[in-house]
């Protein structure tokens, strides 16, 4: 791989993300009661990025755009890799020959030996920061793409889950400044925070997080907890299942389809994980007293 220098930040920044280029400051008029005052307000940056792949034999290389998404700039190579991996276009880290990034484009060059599913590419995604994988309309489409996590393992104490939200909030520098970013975090089974990514889009934050793990050749994530700052939607549970994550936890509520998918894959799905409580919607056997 040959990612740009911008995609190789220092260790702390690589594990916990960076506030660089993720916020911008604008002038606002703040109203309190009947009084108006001028203030500066921090906003989360939202800009489009195009994800391309280059593939084919050395004699017949082709380039395709597979997604255009609205995202918060930063960790764009991880975003592209996470998207391609959770769409099963990438099967392993060694499929990647090189990655080049620009202000509004990421190109992932696949090795000539990699076979690309052209029918999958023809879907030509357009995703927004609130959408995700709108092209998938059925559980069957996801279930053909992966096996999901191993059943029954790991076992995690209830008390570990009560600590997740506080640790995540402490590691969200851009959210603290703007209040406008979603976050995704990986924890080990002892409740230790391993990495965090933030983005205006829920699925982008997850793609960045999982993309970093995929590049490091740490899939499947069989001993990890994936925790998100918003709700547990179908597309996020799908991404976790493809990455082999056994436990998905969310601050907010799950959707009905997310619960169905988690149960089909024997994943543990937790919702409303905050203030010393949570609901278990699937896989209660992994949560021990």
User: Which residue numbers are catalytic?
Assistant: 131
Helices in 107-193 by DSSP H: which ranges? 118-121, 139-143, 158-162, 164-170, 173-178
> In terms of Cα–Cα distance, which of 137, 55, 57 is closest to 91?
55
Three-state DSSP string of 81-116: HHHHHHCCCCCCHHHEEEEEECCCEEEEEECCCCCC
- DSSP letters of 20-81? TTTEEEEEEEEEETTEEEEEEEEEE--EEEEEEEEES-TTS-EEEEEEEEEE-SS-HHHHHH
Assign 130 to helix, strand or coil.
coil
Three-state DSSP string of 134-149: CCCCCHHHHHCCCCCC
DSSP tag of 246: S
The owner of tokens 């995700």 is: 132
Cα separation, 112 vs 146, in Å, equals: 24
Assign 269 to helix, strand or coil.
strand
Cα separation, 148 vs 289, in Å, equals: 25
């Amino acid at each position: 791989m040959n990612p740009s220098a911008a995609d190789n930040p220092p260790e702390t920044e690589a594990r916990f993300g960076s506030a660089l280029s993720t916020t911008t400051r604008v002038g606002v008029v703040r109203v309190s009661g009947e009084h108006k005052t001028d203030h500066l307000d921090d906003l989360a940056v939202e800009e489009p990025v195009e994800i391309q792949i280059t593939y084919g034999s050395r004699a017949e290389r082709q380039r395709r755009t597979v997604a255009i998404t609205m995202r918060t700039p930063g960790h764009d190579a991880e975003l592209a890799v996470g998207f391609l991996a959770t769409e099963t276009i990438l099967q392993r880290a060694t499929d990647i020959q090189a990655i080049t990034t620009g202000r509004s484009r990421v190109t992932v060059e696949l090795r000539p030996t990699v076979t690309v599913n052209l029918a999958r590419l023809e879907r030509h995604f357009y995703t927004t920061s609130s959408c995700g994988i709108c092209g998938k309309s059925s559980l069957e489409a996801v279930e053909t793409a992966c096996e999901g996590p191993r059943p029954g393992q790991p076992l995690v104490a209830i008390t570990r889950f009560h600590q997740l939200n506080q640790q995540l909030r402490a590691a969200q520098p851009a959210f603290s400044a703007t209040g406008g970013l979603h976050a995704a975090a990986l924890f080990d089974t002892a409740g230790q925070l391993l990495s965090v990514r933030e983005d205006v889009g829920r699925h982008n934050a997850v793609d960045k997080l999982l993309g970093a793990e995929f590049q490091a050749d740490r899939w499947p994530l069989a001993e990890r907890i994936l925790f998100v700052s918003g709700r547990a939607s179908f597309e996020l549970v799908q991404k976790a299942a493809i990455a082999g994550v056994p436990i998905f936890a969310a601050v907010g509520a799950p959707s009905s389809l997310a619960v169905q998918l988690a149960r089909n894959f024997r994943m543990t799905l937790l919702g409303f994980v905050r203030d010393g409580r949570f609901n278990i919607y699937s896989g209660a056997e992994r949560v021990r007293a």
